[in-house]
């Protein structure tokens, strides 16, 4: 039995004869808590695990072998999503068939932004993170003005988990996964909530104030700042946060780099790792990668070229 472990989830799911729920270990590391006839034991999410939740339909299996984390998921969350369709989102949720192979030891490269339809990452319960909305000013993808999903400029029918549904039926997250945090539970440092498409871990909001050692925790601040003045084209008007282009990266103005990440220690990586953070402020879900995207995670643009009329520019770290 793992002494001192705090049970977080009020519900458990049946997995191969075990009842599983997420929990946080006494060290703060994210883990699955397993209950069996012979007592309790924890399964760290950095290793193998499986979730089968009959109540929500969530099905995800993770295996780690020879430097590769293989993830199979049906894209349904391990918590109850909002009601879909709704007034802002006409699509119904349906199971997907995700299969990804991500490196467990990715290597940092040049920070490179990406555009839709590329997703950013996948949660520990198998739901995709997507930073971008498909809506543009005046319905013109070539306008250069893309609505920020959490900016309030357009009603996307998001539920309380900052998620909604694509026409394909894929439930996906545009911001902090509130329902998943309810399952994982609260802790000082954020639990590990998923992996980016390049293999690096994803956390939410809270990290160690000193990136070099465990200790005091604070909310990680993005280094993207709202521009001042008025928009020179397109919708015009004062920069108010409705569009992604209302923001600019200002190095050193926050805790995080242009990919909304940093190198530092975490409860799951006491020796340090590069890690991304989902933040309260823009961009919330990172819109750039700090390492090469795994081939299995690359989303090809639709016929006619990338959305927005061309590839995104490259940023310096």
In a domain, 141, yes or no: yes
Q: Distance between alpha carbon 191 and the CA centroid of its chain, in Å?
A: 12
Question: Peptide bond before 283: cis, by omega within 30 degrees of 0?
Answer: yes
What is the spatial distance between Cα 4 and Cα 26, in angstroms, rounded to a whole number?
6
Looking at the domain assignment, is residue 72 inside a domain? Answer: yes
Q: What is the pLDDT of residues 103-154, one digit of tens each?
A: 999 999 999 999 999 999 999 999 999 999 999 999 999 999 999 999 999 9
The answer to whether residue 288 is domain-embedded is yes
Task: Report yes or no: 113 and 313 within 8 Å, Cβ to Cβ.
Answer: yes
Tokens 């049970």 map to which residue? 7
- Per-residue pLDDT tens over the stretch 168-192: 999 999 999 999 999 987 678 999 9
315 domain-assigned:
no
Within a domain: 71: yes
pTM of the model: 0.86
Residue at 1 is within a domain: no
Provide the 3-class DSSP secondary structure of residue 180. helix
b/e code 263-289 from CB counts within 10 Å (16+ = b): ebbbbbbeeebbbbbbbebbbbbbbbb
Beta-sheet pairing, 201-204 with 273-278: parallel
Domain count, the chain: 1
Range of the domain at 162: 6-309
Report which of 120, 131, 89, 101 is spatially closest to residue 224, judged by C-alpha positions: 131
């Amino acid at each position: 039995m793992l002494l001192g472990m705090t049970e977080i989830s009020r519900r458990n799911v049946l997995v191969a004869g075990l009842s599983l729920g997420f929990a946080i270990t006494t060290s703060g590391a994210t883990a699955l808590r397993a209950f069996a006839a012979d007592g309790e034991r924890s399964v760290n999410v950095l290793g193998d695990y499986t979730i089968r939740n009959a109540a929500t339909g969530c099905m995800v299996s993770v295996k780690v072998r020879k430097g590769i984390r293989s993830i199979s998921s049906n894209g349904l969350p391990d918590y109850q999503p909002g009601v879909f369709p709704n007034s802002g989102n006409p699509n119904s949720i349906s199971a997907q068939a995700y299969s990804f192979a991500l490196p467990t030891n990715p290597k940092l490269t040049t920070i490179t932004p990406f555009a839709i339809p590329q997703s950013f990452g996948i949660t520990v319960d198998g739901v995709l993170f997507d930073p971008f909305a498909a809506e543009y000013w005046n319905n013109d993808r070539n306008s250069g003005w893309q609505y920020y999903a959490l900016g309030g400029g357009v009603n996307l029918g998001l539920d309380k988990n900052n998620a909604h549904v694509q026409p394909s039926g894929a439930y996906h997250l545009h911001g902090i996964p509130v329902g998943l945090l309810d399952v994982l539970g609260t802790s000082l440092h954020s639990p590990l909530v998923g992996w980016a498409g390049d293999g690096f871990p994803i956390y939410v909001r809270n990290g160690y104030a000193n990136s070099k050692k465990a200790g005091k925790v604070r909310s990680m601040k993005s280094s993207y700042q709202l521009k001042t003045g008025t928009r020179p084209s397109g919708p015009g008007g004062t920069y108010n946060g409705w569009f992604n282009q209302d923001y600019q990266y200002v190095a050193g103005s926050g805790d995080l780099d242009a990919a909304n990440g940093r190198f530092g220690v975490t409860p799951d990586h006491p020796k340090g790792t590069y890690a991304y953070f989902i933040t309260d402020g823009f961009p919330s879900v990172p819109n750039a990668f700090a390492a090469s995207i795994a081939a299995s995670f690359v989303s090809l643009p639709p016929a006619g070229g990338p959305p927005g009329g061309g590839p995104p520019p490259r940023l310096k770290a």
